[in-house]
Amino acid sequence: MTTPAPFLGGETRVVNIGLSLFAETLAALGVSVVSVDWRPPAGGDRRLAELLARAGDEAGAKPVTIADANRECLRRIQAGTATLVGLRPAREVVPGLGERTVLHAGPPVTWERMCGPMRGAIIGACLFEGWAKTPDDAVTLAESGALTFDPCHHHRAVGPMAGIVTPSMAVWVVENDACDTAAYATLNEGVGKVLRFGAYDRPVLDRFAWINRELAPILDGALRRAGGLDAKTLIARALTMGDECHNRTTAATSLLARELAPHVAAARAGDVEKALAFLARTDHFFLNIAMAACKAVLDGAHGIRGATVVTAMARNGVEFGIRASGTGDRWFTAPAPNVTGLYFPGYGPGDASPDLGDSAITEAAGLGGFAMAAAPAVVQFVGGTAELALDTTRRMYEITLGEHETFRIPALDFRGAPLGIDIRRVVETGIAPAIDTGLAHREAGVGQVGAGIAEAPIACFVQALEAFVAGLPA
Amino acid sequence: MRLTRDMEAVPGVRRAAAMMGTPANRALLEDAGLLAAEGEAAGPTDLVIAVLADTREAAEVARAAAESAFSARRAAAMPGVAGRPLTLASALKALPGATLALISVPGAYAGAEALKALHAGLHVMLFSDNVPVATELELKTLARQRGLFVMGPDCGTAIVNGVPLGFANAVARGRIGIAAASGTGLQEVACHLAAAGEGISQAIGVGGRDLSDEVGGLMMERALAALAADPETAAVCVIGKPPGAATLAKLEGWIAKLGKPCVTQLMAPTGRERWHAAATLEDAALAAVALARGVKPAPVEFTAPPGAVARLVEDAVLPMRANQRYVRGVYSGGTLAYEALGILKTRLADVAPGVTGGGSGHRVVDLGEDVFTVGRPHPMLDGTVRREWIERESADPETAVLLLDVVLGYGAHPDPAGEILPAIRAATLAAESAGRHLAVVASVTGTEGDPQRRSAQVAALSAGGVIVMPSNAQAARLAALIAEPRA
């Protein structure tokens, strides 16, 4: 508990909450003053205001203060490293991945409730693994209960869109040495008709097999030859080049290709030309690495008692779920929101599945919608202006505890990206975390139909706050 | 409140209000006859703009005025985007090392904001009223545990480390400390200290209920301890309404421990005080000055010589009709209204017991009370309600004296005298044409350093035929003399 400033003596520095007239007077007299643009907390909901007041004690909670817990949480996120060390088959590295386990994006969901794209991706995965010969066989298998479904997040993994991980798939291995954690993600297949959006026809599966069985070993060899790659620094550079590292990873992918190309060439293993050509045309190739990097860092900051920082946001196409550092492994869920976005020609809002994928882990780490000011090109997806990109990031500072020391945004005078979503601030302000996202067709097998911006449901944060307050010592 | 002012300035508009649609505000609007179906459906984050006008056209003009003023403000500050933080938490990021939260949000929300501020290690000035006493106790108890200070609730003014908070006057820093459970009382004392050439070391408000036995002086004890320890403070002035019996006993102990000369003005001196107990705010200020200078305090009846006062009374009484018998006080400051009422009671019979404006004899109304500020600004900010009451009281053929306060300072209206003078002129003219003479007596609480400049306000009032007395107490005494029954 910090000692408060003495009441008398010293400089009085004022936070004005209410009549702006008082702040204007003070400012005119040269007094240090900041005026809050006040409105009733939590949209005027008295019960939530009460919860906020109870979770508002920065200085007095025991055994550690909320402020101390959040500081430690932020410290670990800032200090977290993300070294891309190589690629391995998931069965070799992903903890707790049984032979018939299927990992999926978002909070837990049963086959019966899964959305179309997730079912499609699982059908594709069954065909890829050789567990089924036909899509119908795959459906029968999934319905039979012979497969174990579990969220990626329960296995230190993250997956974009459907986020399906099965044992034979290759995964990126990203290590956070500062917190002694690692995280895993599959390889990106490009946009359009791809497995992660629920497509599973022959060309999709052929490409998927090539990526996992031929491209992965080439890149693994190159990475090992390079002695690993610092993904955190690469992300920081990409932010200065127009990426927000969620919906736009064009710069990051280029930087990755540039780093790896000499080693790919030197190793002379496999079809080098095909490998490099794939990197050259796959703008989103780095996305999965960014996600694993964010997961590795945020897992290192998870499980701190008394911390109100969000450590995961994920969607399974039915529900949106969040986890907070101080509330353990519980998910707080609400119906997945619809996405405001731009559709590929021939598609419209009626075609899209609700929000899907683990990629909102990037927002929890200060990227994506939170770093939109770095990537004005992304707002084209919602027909927005560059000013909207700046304002989106500016608003996120209202719900975050700190600013990223490494991820900086040129257009905001190199201000650090808003970092550490505080569940209390989301409930208090009603400002929902902004999430850049892709749009999957709601039926299995079609694929991506657009991209846009989604808002995390406030209800998740309300539940998290309730659980947090319930867990506070009396 | 500015929106209200803009709208009520439109000709043909009777009443207007712009308030957030909280349940409490909706009730206020309903009481004021300003709630239509649309407003009833509003939520706490909606802004309700209500206009009562003679014609549809006038209402539309008012609505347009409000909307343009509102959108101009919005454009300047998009919420959460253009620099103004939305919460205390983000304000603290913008102002590292903040020491105090000045809270003036509606009472229903003020307690929660104050709690957040205390939790963040800030001292609190709670300007808001309508905060439940249970909340006040919780806040003050927590503050004491954490070594923090809560000024208020309903704390209109304070001067901490030279920083004027809320409605405060421009006074020099000096050696006299004030601890007050009263807003305009603190202002009146501070202004008299300034006029006497002394300055304020600290002026701490504790909230109107602090000296009640329910709250038990939780902050008065801390205020006096802080002033005792403050090396800048040479003498202390304690101001408030009469304390609860148990709290008065404790107060005696705290004053005894001060180790500095002390003056109290607690409205009802018992005569048993072991310190200097002043009868009026003016006397309290003058006594504090005397004690700081090491001389014996002497109370003041009138600053002017007796002959001059007698002439003022005579000039006022002569042209009056026989049935003009009563003093009618129309106040903007609560403590000033109480002080005036107390003085009238000691000198006149048939004085109304409270400051509600009720009763058929001598009466005083405090227009700062909640019942009069429904959906409209405080009378220190806007003279509309006062003008209505001046008109109403002076129309009564039995009114002899109109007794007024004019409070200056930061936050107050830029020209309070100019706000009420047209109504005063109209009232005196109306009386003349009815064959009566209306005496208008006022005092100005303010300093030369105030944005409105005291001497300019006094000159404007005098030019308008108002008898301006040097203090509220003297104004009330003169009013009593004028209305005194004569043989």
DSSP letter string, B435-461: T---EEEEEEE--TTSTT-HHHHHHHH
Across the beta sheet with B123-126, the strand order is: A33-36, A14-17, B100-103, B123-126, B150-151
Stretch among A199-213, A317-331, A364-378, B59-73 having the lowest mean pLDDT: B59-73
Question: What pLDDT is attached to residue B1?
Answer: 58
The two tokens of residue B179 are 């601890």
Cα separation, B105 vs A8, whole angstroms:
25
Q: At what angle do helices A135-144 and A116-129 cross, to 10 degrees?
A: 100
Q: Does the pLDDT at position A1 exceed 60?
A: no
Q: Which domains are delineated in chain B?
A: 2-76 (no CATH), 89-292 (3.40.50.261), 306-483 (3.40.50.261)
Cα separation, A262 vs A225, whole angstroms:
10
Measured over the CA atoms of residue B20, residue B21, residue B23 and residue B24, the dihedral's sign is positive
Question: A418 and A269 share a domain?
Answer: no
**Does any domain span residue A216?**
yes
Q: Does the pLDDT at position A400 exceed 80?
A: yes
**Tell me, what CATH number does A413's domain have?**
3.90.1700.10
Say if the Cβ atoms of A22 and B91 lie within 8 Å: no
Residue-range definition of the domain harbouring residue A197: 80-292
Measured over the CA atoms of residue B117, residue B123, residue B129 and residue B130, the dihedral's sign is positive
**Does any domain span residue A55?**
no
* Chain A residue numbers touching B20 (CB-CB < 8 A): 39-40
Q: What is the pLDDT of residues A90-136, one digit of tens each?
A: 999 999 999 999 999 999 999 999 999 999 999 999 999 999 999 99
Measured over the CA atoms of residue B141, residue B142, residue B144 and residue B149, the dihedral's sign is negative
Number of domains in chain A: 3
Question: A338 and A435 share a domain?
Answer: yes
Which residue from A3, A11, A36 is facing B85, i.e. has the nearest CB?
A: A36
Short-list B181, B115, B165, CA closest to B143:
B115
If contacts are CB pairs under 8 Å, which of residues 376-405 in chain B contact chain A?
Answer: none
If contacts are CB pairs under 8 Å, which of residues 122-181 in chain B contact chain A?
Answer: 122-123, 127-128, 146-149, 160-166
The two tokens of residue A17 are 């909450």
Residue A56 pLDDT level (bands cut at 50, 70, 90) = confident
Interface with A, mutate which of B25, B74, B104, B118 (most A CBs under 10 A) = B104
| Cβ–Cβ < 8 Å for B342, B267 | yes
**Tell me, what CATH number does A277's domain have?**
3.90.1710.10
* Chain A residue numbers touching B44 (CB-CB < 8 A): 40, 43-44
Tell me the CA distances in angstroms from A338 to A43, A114, A463, B440, one per residue in order.
Answer: 22, 16, 20, 68
Say if the Cβ atoms of B85 and A37 lie within 8 Å: yes
User: Which residue is closest to A398 within chain B, CA to CA?
Assistant: B90
Cα separation, A391 vs A410, whole angstroms:
14
Residue A369's SS3 state is helix
Question: What pLDDT is attached to residue B31?
Answer: 77
Question: A322 and A272 share a domain?
Answer: no
Short-list A348, A34, A29, A81, CA closest to B171:
A29
Residues 6+ apart with CB under 8 A from A227: none
Single residue among A231, A261, A292 that ends a domain in this structure: A292
Question: What pLDDT is attached to residue A2?
Answer: 60
Q: What is the pLDDT of residues A376-393, one digit of tens each?
A: 888 876 667 888 899 999
Could you tell me which residues are beta bridge partners of residue A332?
A: A322
Which residue from A2, A11, A22 is facing B121, i.e. has the nearest CB?
A: A2
Tell me the CA distances in angstroms from A288 to A188, B224, B284, one per residue in order.
Answer: 6, 64, 75
* Element of type H or E holding A209: helix A202-210
Q: What is the pLDDT of residues A326-359, one digit of tens each?
A: 999 999 999 998 887 878 778 888 888 888 999 9
Answer whether A428 touches B (CB < 8 Å): yes
**Does any domain span residue A93?**
yes
* Chain A residue numbers touching B121 (CB-CB < 8 A): 2, 4-5, 58-59
Which residue from A12, A22, A26 is facing B161, i.e. has the nearest CB?
A: A12
User: Which residue is closest to A13 within chain B, CA to CA?
Assistant: B98
Pairing outcome for strands A332-335 and A415-421: unpaired
B435 torsion bin: left (phi>0), alpha (psi -120 to 50), beta (else) = left
* Element of type H or E holding B263: strand B262-265
Cα separation, A352 vs A338, whole angstroms:
8
Compare A147 and B71 and report the one with higher pLDDT: A147
Question: What pLDDT is attached to residue A449?
Answer: 82
Say if the Cβ atoms of B45 and A7 lie within 8 Å: no
> Phi and psi dihedrals of A403, rounded to 5?
-130, 140
Which amino acid is located at B318 in the chain? L
Short-list A282, A292, A373, A339, CA closest to A456:
A339
Question: A282 and A342 share a domain?
Answer: no
Residue A60 pLDDT level (bands cut at 50, 70, 90) = low
User: Which residue is closest to A45 within chain B, CA to CA?
Assistant: B44
Say if the Cβ atoms of A19 and B1 lie within 8 Å: yes
Say if the Cβ atoms of B80 and A26 lie within 8 Å: no
The two tokens of residue A131 are 């567990």
Q: Does the pLDDT at position A64 exceed 90?
A: no
Interface with B, mutate which of A3, A15, A48, A387 (most B CBs under 10 A) = A15
Question: A454 and A424 share a domain?
Answer: yes
**Does any domain span residue A91?**
yes
Question: A345 and A369 share a domain?
Answer: yes
ipTM of the prediction? 0.84
Residue B341, judged by CB atoms within 10 A of its CB (0-12, 13-18, 19+), counts as buried
Answer whether B121 touches A (CB < 8 Å): yes
Tell me the CA distances in angstroms from A128 to A218, B143, B432, one per residue in order.
Answer: 20, 65, 103
Cα separation, A176 vs B160, whole angstroms:
50
Question: A314 and A242 share a domain?
Answer: no
* Element of type H or E holding A449: strand A448-455
Pairing outcome for strands B163-166 and B157-160: antiparallel
**Does any domain span residue A456?**
yes
Compare A2 and A300 and report the one with higher pLDDT: A300
Residue with tokens 């002026």: B203
DSSP of A404-429, one letter per residue?
A: EEEEEEGGGTTEEEEEEEBHHHHHHH
Question: What pLDDT is attached to residue B371?
Answer: 79
Say if the Cβ atoms of A425 and B161 lie within 8 Å: no
Residue A311 pLDDT level (bands cut at 50, 70, 90) = very high
The pLDDT mean for chain A works out to 93
* Chain B residue numbers touching A53 (CB-CB < 8 A): 112, 115-116
**Does any domain span residue A441?**
yes
Instruction: Show the CA angle centred on residue B127, arms to residues B126 and B133, nearest 5°.
Output: 60
Could you tell me which residues are beta bridge partners of residue A333?
A: A321
Question: What pLDDT is attached to residue B75?
Answer: 42
Question: A332 and A235 share a domain?
Answer: no
User: Which residue is closest to A394 within chain B, CA to CA?
Assistant: B81
Which residues of chain B fall short of a pLDDT of 50? 74-80
